[in-house]
């Protein structure tokens, strides 16, 4: 990967050419097809993954095999930082949703890079803090807000992150089932399915010919979320 392309990755944007050249030497480029698990929860951890193209889902699996999607990530994001820092086992599984390309940096190489470019460590710290912040927000949502708000808010976030603008509105660029959405907001697939039908009736969204969620007006989705925020 060229230095120019490396600089386009947010985590590396402030590094010098010399630092980028050293990263180029140690970073391994890997491609993952859709449905390929990059690693599983509990796996030993040794590497940091930086997405340069495509989308991945971060999920946990219950004892009886039910999946709960915690997050989705696209180009520019990176993951695996927590387990790489503390050496513990992976806290969640990550799988490619679409054809995904990423840079993989081993723990030992990352340490060497950080010694030369401490800015890298700040970026990783920001990600760790962001992770903690997201968890706090989710906890607050689960505690204080009802399912309609949580679903609208999550749809709004997903559209902002993975939305593809089209003539009829913004299409959600990743395929998620009602069970996936239910897992993300701590509800049941049945409840999510009923709410999605209601949101379609309210013209907040519709399903296209490929059953992908399309939001005609993302601002209206945000407004609807605010409107149902205090429902009990």
Partner 1 sequence: MASLTKQRITPASLLPAAACLPLTYSAIAHAHERFIKHDLRHAVDKAFFGRNPDAFLGINPNMTLVGLHVAVIVAAFLVIWFLRNRIEQFVERRLFGFLKGKPQRMLHMLGCFVVDRPVKGRIFHAISEWAVIFFMRSPGLVLMYSASNDSLVMPSYPLDPASANAFKFLQVGVAILILTQTLLPLCGAIVVGLWIYLIRWGWMVSIDAAPVLTVAIVYMASPWLSHKVAITDINKQQMRMLRLVLGGGFFALGWLKVYNYNLVAGVGDNYPSVMNDPLMKLLAVGTDPAYARESWIVAFGMAEIMSGFLLMMGVFTRVWAAIMFFMFTKLMLVDFGWEEIPHIYPLGAMLVVITSSKHSCEFEKIEELSDRLARQGRTARQMLSIAGPAIAVSLLLIFPILFALTFIDRSTL
Question: Which part of the chain contacts partner 1 (CB under 8 A), choosing from 55-63, 71-79, 130-138, 214-222?
Answer: 55-63
What DSSP string runs through 200-215?
HHTTS-EE-TT--EEE
Least Cα distance to 198 among 180, 224, 165, 167 occurs for: 224
Question: Which part of the chain contacts partner 1 (CB under 8 A), choosing from 17-25, 40-48, 169-177, 221-229?
Answer: 40-48
136 CB burial (10 A radius; 0-12, 13-18, 19+): exposed
Residue 35 as a binder of partner 1 (CB under 8 A): the answer is yes
Residue 31 as a binder of partner 1 (CB under 8 A): the answer is no
Residue 108 as a binder of partner 1 (CB under 8 A): the answer is yes
Question: Least separation, in Å, of the C-beta of 47 and partner 1?
Answer: 11
- The Cα–Cα gap between 84 and 106 comes to 9
Strands (E), the chain: 28-32, 37-39, 47-53, 56-61, 67-73, 78-79, 93-96, 100-106, 163-166, 169-172, 206-207, 213-215
Least Cα distance to 48 among 110, 100, 98 occurs for: 110
The residues in 165-204 that bind partner 1, with binding defined as CB under 8 A, are: none
Question: Are the C-beta atoms of residues 107 and 84 closer than 8 Å to each other?
Answer: yes
Question: Which part of the chain contacts partner 1 (CB under 8 A), choosing from 10-18, 43-51, 120-128, 182-190?
Answer: 43-51
Question: Least separation, in Å, of the C-beta of 121 and partner 1?
Answer: 17
Among 3, 10, 24, 61, binds partner 1 (CB under 8 A): 61
Only one residue has tokens 């509800």, namely 187
Among 16, 29, 31, 87, binds partner 1 (CB under 8 A): 87
Q: Kindly tell me which of 66 and 203 has the beta carbon lying closer to partner 1.
A: 66
Residue 36 as a binder of partner 1 (CB under 8 A): the answer is yes
Among 40, 98, 177, 193, binds partner 1 (CB under 8 A): 40
- Total Cβ atoms within 10 A of residue 111: 12
User: How many residues in the shown chain lie near partner 1 by CB under 8 A?
Assistant: 19
Q: Which residues bind partner 1 (CB under 8 A)?
A: 33-37, 40, 42-44, 46, 61-66, 87, 107-108
């Amino acid at each position: 990967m060229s230095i120019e392309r490396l600089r386009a990755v947010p985590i590396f944007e402030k590094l010098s050419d010399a630092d980028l050249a050293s990263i180029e030497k140690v970073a391994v480029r890997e491609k993952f097809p859709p449905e390929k698990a990059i690693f599983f929860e509990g796996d030993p951890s040794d590497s940091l993954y930086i997405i340069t193209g495509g989308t991945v889902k971060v999920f946990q699996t219950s004892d009886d095999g039910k999946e709960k999607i915690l997050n989705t990530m696209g180009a520019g994001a990176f993951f695996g930082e927590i387990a790489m820092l503390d050496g513990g086992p992976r806290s969640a599984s990550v799988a490619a949703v679409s054809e995904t390309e990423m840079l993989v940096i081993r723990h030992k190489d990352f340490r060497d890079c950080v010694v030369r470019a401490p800015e890298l460590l700040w970026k990783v710290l920001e990600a760790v803090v962001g992770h903690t912040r997201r968890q706090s927000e989710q906890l607050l949502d689960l505690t204080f807000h009802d399912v309609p708000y949580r679903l609208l808010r999550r749809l709004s976030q997903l559209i902002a992150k993975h939305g593809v603008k089209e003539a009829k509105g913004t299409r959600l660029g990743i395929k998620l089932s009602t069970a996936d959405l239910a897992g993300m907001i701590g509800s049941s697939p049945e409840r999510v399915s009923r709410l999605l039908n209601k949101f379609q009736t309210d013209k907040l969204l519709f399903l296209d010919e490929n059953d992908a969620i399309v939001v005609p007006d993302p601002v209206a989705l945000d407004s609807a979320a605010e409107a149902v925020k205090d429902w009990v």
